[in-house]
Amino acid sequence: MTTFRRPLGMRFWLITLAAVVGMLVTASLGRWQLSRAAQKEALQAMLDARGRMPAMDGRALLSLPPGGTSEAATLVHRVVVLEGRWLPEHTVYLDNRQMNGRPGFFVLTPLQLTGGPAGVVLVQRGWVPRNFQDRTQLPQVPTPQDQVVRVAGRVAAAPSRLYEFGSGDTSTGGHGAQGSSRIRQNLDLAAFRTETGLALAPLTVVQTGEAGGAGDGLQRDWPVVGAGVDKHYGYAFQWFGLCGLMALLYVWFQIVRRFIRPRSQPAP
């Protein structure tokens, strides 16, 4: 009995090339995900630092130009305390918004600031369930109109946009029933500023507590602000795991079985 080793043919080199390319690609993708995680960690650290900064008032928001600039981005997630009067006649209900897995409305009401420069800030007050038996019925949200309230929250961009059918006319909201024009799928701050004639700040405020201690029945279980660092570490683990799997399979089938444990065949 003599040991017979198969010659290295084109198939062996093609498999080797494919394995090397696959390992390089997956390792590169894993490193890229690690770099993204590092970027997100820096972003998360910045957001956490903003959240620990002293609370500001509405003057910083009102000083921003209507179109918004890079300066506006530096205020997002800052803690803010506002004093003013609600403008309930301009309350808007954003439809198809979820909180704790339940569909309903986000309630947005402009707040006319007092005790400083004249201006208005749109406040994302909270979430309320909708009436599914009468989808045009507006929920009752207690809103004192002539009372100065104190609103604590954090600065945020405009509410995220959802896909909507039709022209997306925010003046009608796609409904024809009386009063249902206040039910909308999305809200553009610039268009709302033009529609209402209010001197709206280019950023909104997400309310995090009761205004003036008065209960309004709104839920404020807002999602925790995060940069999604863990997601990138998970992706990196998957890519590196795939790279290691390809390396193990290549070593076993192309090296161990071919060279270390060769098949024995009788000599001719």
What's the pLDDT at 91? 94
- How many Cβ atoms sit within 10 Å of the Cβ of residue 17? 10
Is residue 123 included in any domain, yes or no? yes
Task: Provide the pLDDT for residue 70.
Answer: 67
| 193 found inside a domain | yes
Residue 93 lies in a domain: yes
- 242 and 203, same structural domain? no
Query: CA dist 136 to 133, 151, 177, 238, Å?
Result: 9, 29, 7, 47
Give, rounded to a whole angstrom, the gap between the first and last alpha carbons of the chain.
10
Q: Are residues 124 and 156 in the same domain?
A: yes
| Judgement on whether residues 150 and 106 belong to the same structural domain of the protein | yes
Whole-angstrom Cα distance, residue 155 to residue 147? 23
- pLDDT (0 to 100) of residue 164: 66
203 and 84 within one domain: yes
Supply the range of the domain harboring residue 259: 9-46+228-265
Q: Tell me, yes or no, whether 250 and 157 share the same domain.
A: no
Q: Which residues of the chain have pLDDT under 50?
A: 1, 167-180, 264-265, 267
Q: Does some domain include residue 203?
A: yes
Indicate the number of domains in the chain.
2
**Cα separation, 200 vs 154, whole angstroms:** 16
User: Is 59 within a domain?
Assistant: no
Residues 127 and 166 occupy one common structural domain: yes
Query: What is the predicted pLDDT for the residue at 258?
Result: 75
User: How many whole angstroms separate alpha carbon 238 and alpha carbon 26?
Assistant: 9
Whether 104 and 164 share a structural domain: yes
pLDDT at position 153 is 93
pLDDT of 6 reads 59
- 85 and 28, same structural domain? no
In a domain, 239, yes or no: yes
What is the structure's pLDDT at 179?
A: 39
Looking at residue 180, what is its pLDDT? 44
Residue 120 domain-assigned (yes or no):
yes
